[in-house]
Chain A
Amino acid sequence: MPEIIDVPVVVELSPAGDPRAFIWDRFEHTIIGQPQAIFSRTHWWANDQNYGMRDLNRIDTELWRVDASRGGEEQRRYDLRRDADGTWVLALDWG
């Protein structure tokens, strides 16, 4: 089962726009291989009344599934979420 982390992190991007590394808990995690982006949509019409008009500007949640390792440690799989305001959140640790 994945572990929920949900912590804001700093992500370094490659010139091509892919995440290349992220810093979590003072340690840099280097991303290995080609990360995969996943855009999941919201069914905005079914959301609660707090769903503001601003949110309709974007119906997708952007997730990046990456394999990363800290130093020479064994690589693990993580989900990085980029929110609408551009901030990155380490969402899940898949192990």
Chain B
Amino acid sequence: MSFPHLHVASAYSTHYGVTLPEALVEQAAAQGSDFLAVTDRDGLYGAVKHVRACAAAGIRPGLGAELAVHDDEHRPLGRVVVLAHGNTKGRGYGALCRAVSAAHQLGKKPSVSRARLATLASLRSLTVLIGPASDVGQAIERRDSSDAHARITAWNRAMPPESIALEVVSHLTELGTRGSVTPATKMLSMAEAMLLPAVLTNAVRYGTPEEAATADLADAARLLTPLAQLDQVQVNGQAYLKPGWAMRQVARMMVDVGTHEDGALERLLRDTEQLAAFSEDLVASCAKRVGRSSSRGLANRNLFHCTFPCGQSHPGQSGPRIAWAMSLEGRPDTVRHTERCNGVPDGSLRAGCPTPGRAPEAQSSMSVARWIMSMRRVERKAECQMSSPPRLDPSLERSLSSFTAVIAIAHATEGTGAERALKAS
């Protein structure tokens, strides 16, 4: 019995996801699933590995990203999952890349404006999953149903038709608490009331329940807080890649505690399958590109996104290659930064970059070829970097301080659980 997981963070969601994309795909295939999406936090960091692993395992890959969103007044609207549609001649994937780039253009904390997301989601290129981490989900969590209704209405008005779905998640915690079936069933009721589709996900952070303790450590590292002082520790260890029968079990329990229309359970599962089908074919072309390490498309966009160790992003970095090249023109600092981050000799990118304003065919073929070779060098280097999990960011030292603090607390309480967990992970 297969289930298409639409919301999955891989280990490339630094300090959040736990399991490498290859392991997730292998597990999904072993569970009999024929589809798996990867939706890393704030980027497409695990996408290339995911698509390759899916192609090798013979299952359909989906791509998306979990992004923070803000409104026109820059008020935060929580986090949503943005899924690219397939079978759109790359439009869905392109829109997803632009959404990720837009999220990185403002300030230090990545966040995309809802208006920008609405523009990108037009032409049925994206679906935005509004789940428990969104402003709507948070309002439901606070039991503020009128606020939740106002917020979903605002989403409905802002976004193009058929571009949003409500994401129903339950990690089966104690009834009435965060992650229980209660907010999930309310979310499903809201979808029915608003005539919006609802999809079931498990907001996956790790492949197996045994990896849940590692996710605790990831939380401590990300929030730079010792475990004992974490306010928002994960509710339990249920955010794993559950097999189909277990997801149906969750759906049954969730539907049972609410008042829903007839056939709500089957409709929820059917809509989940349908969205997976929307998301699948984007990779038919992408997989070929990745397979031959093309200088275009997926590999190019993703790897560039991952190659700035400082975490700084640049306008247009995930746009089409030529647009990216154009955007570099007149930005010598950006070019130099790109070269230094990727170990390319100074001036090599700029030297070969096609001149804006001139048709490509009018340019020297040697110039374009040299430029492409430079770009490929950058990509190869980036690919080498991405063959192991992403490097820790500059806050590594502070993260290590957190681990040290965890161990210190464990010793102080005469416990060695934390130490063992660190060794185990």
Contact = CB atoms under 8 A, between A and B. Distances in A.
B292 interface: no
Nearest to B256: A34
Contacts of B175: 36, 38
29 contacts: A16-B252, A17-B246, A17-B249, A34-B253, A35-B253, A36-B181, A36-B253, A37-B253, A38-B175, A39-B237, A40-B173, A40-B236, A41-B235, A44-B421, A45-B227, A45-B406, A45-B417, A45-B421, A46-B417, A49-B416, A51-B415, A53-B424, A57-B210, A58-B210, A58-B212, A59-B209, A59-B212, A60-B212, A60-B236
Interface string B209-240: 11011001000000000011000011111100
Interface of A: 16-18, 33-41, 43-49, 51-53, 56-60
A84 B410 CA distance: 24
B418 interface: yes
A41 B234 contact: yes
Nearest to A36: B253
A39 B417 contact: no
Contacts of B418: 44-45
**Majority SS at the chain A contact face:** mixed
A43 B413 CA distance: 13
Given A36-B181, A39-B171, A45-B415, A16 B245 contact: yes
Nearest to B407: A45
B240 to A, nearest CB: 10
Contacts of A60: 209, 212, 236-238
A33 B228 contact: no
B253 A58 contact: no
Contacts of B234: 41
A41 to B, nearest CB: 4
B237 A45 contact: no
Contact of A45 (B172, B249, B410): B410
A36 B175 CA distance: 9
A39 B418 CA distance: 21
Contacts of B246: 17
B174 A40 contact: yes
B409 interface: yes
Contact of A59 (B181, B216, B249, B252): B216
